[in-house]
């Protein structure tokens, strides 16, 4: 495949794809390979479930052509915001009411901050994650009980399957729920996804979806893999990606990104 003849759109998940789950850094090999692909005329974008606010700050300084954040709820291309979607006031209120009714523990993710409950969470993992947010200066401005904030999407962790099933049934008319396994669910406004963001960006740049490449590892990358012409699964990946993977490359730490870009002649 001679991909150097026309620009390709390269979309990268963050955790487990760009960032090592062990070092929480991007290997030098991946940075060099992505820069080489850009030098060849291709465009590189981060496509993540994280909101722009909760994305590690250093990623914004690495020369990516743009950021598709919050599972398609915000799109930034070359410094210009193409899309910014938040849940409506009615939707936000409904979600928090239902969380209280079904005792759901969540993090509500917005473009300004991530919002946690004021009291301690029941689940140890939630308190650990909240502490990591706080360490980064997140989750301190307002609390879920305050209700006077805007959010785009949310994540909850279930410790009661019956309650979480009832909660999910109550929101599916306006929320798409992604099962991230081990009781974790990512919840996004209906109609928004990593795939919808790719398609909007493709139209904006007038580059065919035939020229799109998805690099990912987890179940929330599935819409991206279904939409892309080429799917590259990392060495450690969710099995749901395999039917849509053109290649299973090596792990993050073993230069998986560089190996895949080289294999397909993108660098």
Q: Which pLDDT tens digit goes with each residue over 53-111? A: 999 889 999 999 999 999 999 999 999 999 999 999 999 999 999 999 999 999 999 99
What's the pLDDT at 21?
A: 87
pLDDT tens-place string over residues 20-38: 988 889 999 999 999 999 9
Residue 202 DSSP SS3: helix
pLDDT per position as a tens digit, 226-267: 999 999 999 999 899 999 999 999 999 999 999 999 999 999
Q: How many CB atoms lie within 10 A of CB 41?
A: 13
> Got the DSSP string for 177-221?
EEEEETTEEEEEETT-SHHHHHHHHHHHHT--GGGEEEEE-SGGG
């Amino acid at each position: 495949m001679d991909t150097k003849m026309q620009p390709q759109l390269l979309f990268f998940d963050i955790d487990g794809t760009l960032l090592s789950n062990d070092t929480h850094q991007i290997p030098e090999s991946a940075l060099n390979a992505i820069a080489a692909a850009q030098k060849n005329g291709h465009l590189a974008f981060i496509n993540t479930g994280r909101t722009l606010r909760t994305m590690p700050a250093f990623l914004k300084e690495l020369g990516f052509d743009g950021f598709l954040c919050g599972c398609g709820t915000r799109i930034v291309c070359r410094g210009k915001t193409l899309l910014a979607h938040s849940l409506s006031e009615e939707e936000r209120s409904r979600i928090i009411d239902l969380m209280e009714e079904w005792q759901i523990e969540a993090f509500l993710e917005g473009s300004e901050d991530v919002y946690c409950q004021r009291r301690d969470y029941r689940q140890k993992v939630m308190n650990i994650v909240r502490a990591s947010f706080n360490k980064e200066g997140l989750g301190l401005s307002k609390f879920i009980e305050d209700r006077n904030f805007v959010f785009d999407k949310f994540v909850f962790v279930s410790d009661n399957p019956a309650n979480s099933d009832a909660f999910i049934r109550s929101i599916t008319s306006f929320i798409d729920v992604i099962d991230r396994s081990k009781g974790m669910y990512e919840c996004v406004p209906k109609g928004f996804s990593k795939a919808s963001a790719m398609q909007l960006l493709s139209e904006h740049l007038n580059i065919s979806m035939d020229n799109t490449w998805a690099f990912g590892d987890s179940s929330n990358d599935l819409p991206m893999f279904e939409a892309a012409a080429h799917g590259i699964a990392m060495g450690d990946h969710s099995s749901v990606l395999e039917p849509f993977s053109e290649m299973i490359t090596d792990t993050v730490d073993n230069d998986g990104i560089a190996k895949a870009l080289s294999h397909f002649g993108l660098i």
